[in-house]
Structure formats: C-alpha cells, structure tokens
Amino acid sequence: MSIAAWLLCAIASAPVTVIADANDGEFMGYRLNDRYLISEATRSGPSLSGNLVVIAENPLMPADMGMVRVTTTLETHTIGFIEASQDFSDESAARDFARKYYNLLHAKYPEWRIETGKIQLNEKTLMPTALNMDRWPYTIRIKLTETEAQDGRPFRVSVTLRYLFDSPERTAWNKLARAEQSEQQQADQEKLIENADTRGL
C-alpha cells in the first residue's frame, strides 16, 4: 500500500470529535444533569425554590459575559439550570446585549423554535422581558430584568439553558430536588432536637 493510500485509510478510520453544545444539554462548560463538584472555595446560596445556586468556578463563556451560575439539587448537586449573565447600568445597552445574544443563538441554533418575546427585545416594554428558544427537551431563555443591585448596574441580561417544563427530564429533576430538600429538612430538624435541651417539652 502506498503512503498516500495509507494516510487516506488512517484519516477515514480516525474517530470524529463532536463538540457538545446546547443540543446535547451542554452550555457554558457545564451539562444538565451532571453533578457539580463542590469544594471549600465554592460560592453558593439558596435559590427561591429551595435549591442551591452555585457561582461556577470554571465556566467556558464569551468574554463579554460576566458570570455563570448553575442551579443544583441540595445533596447530589445535580445541575438543573445553567445561566450566564451580565449586568448593565443602562437599559438600552442591556437590550442591545440581549438582542446580540438572540441573534447569535438563533444563528447557531436555527432549528430551535422561537416561543415568545421576540418583539419585546426590540421595544422598551415593562420588565421582565423574556424570549424562549425551544428544542425538545431543552429551552434557552434570554431574559432582561431590573434588579435591586446596589452597584449601579440594575439591568441584568441572563441566558439560561434548562429542561422544558413538561419534559420527562424536568419532571425527574424536580422530583430529585424535592426529595433532597425533604431529606435535608428532616436532618436539620433532627439535629436541632439533638442539640437542644428538650426537658419538659
């Protein structure tokens, strides 16, 4: 076999590297349903729904994004939401940023269905303003909100990958999250009683 023929065979048989993206549930360097590795340096806090919001320590994100947060379950730290965001002092700049990412994501994922809010990114409307791009079982939400930030940058643009609300994956994650919340509440109550003086109670 000639060297040229050997090279062609080697190329044809080489494994193809497929880069995972939102079509596979991966976003900003993290993947839905993976477990986030918590360390002593990890910064986190409770979410409104009782889960854990973690400031991602090793995100893979565009240079103009400010931060990536992942929402996980309490015990196994299973990821259910991946959110990248940037804050602005000016509402117009925030809307420009939101439109930029809508155009970019729509170009990268043209097959994802646009659900709501496209016109809201182009007009000054009441906030929050949100636009959903869906491809089963995932949805990407681009959202503009006005926060109570004290740093002079109250306008936040967030881009979040999560499971669609009615997908089996979302149902399974919600079930796991509720179970882990219940387990932690029970453990906290048992620890409270164990460490308390309950004589006469």
Please give the average pLDDT of every successive group of 10 residues along the chain, which has 201 residues. Answer: 45 47 97 95 92 96 97 97 97 91 94 72 60 95 88 94 97 97 78 71 74
Count of structural domains, the chain: 1
Identify residue 79 by its one-letter amino acid code.
I
The pLDDT of residue 147 is 87
The pLDDT of residue 196 is 75
The pLDDT of residue 131 is 87
Domain contains 178: yes
The pLDDT of residue 193 is 67
Domain contains 29: yes
Domain contains 15: no
Full domain range(s) for residue 182: 20-189
**54: β partners:** 44, 70
Domain contains 201: no
Domain contains 42: yes
Domain contains 41: yes
The pLDDT of residue 88 is 96
Domain contains 67: yes
The pLDDT of residue 1 is 52
The pLDDT of residue 10 is 38
The pLDDT of residue 154 is 93
Secondary structure (3-state) at 200: coil
Domain contains 179: yes
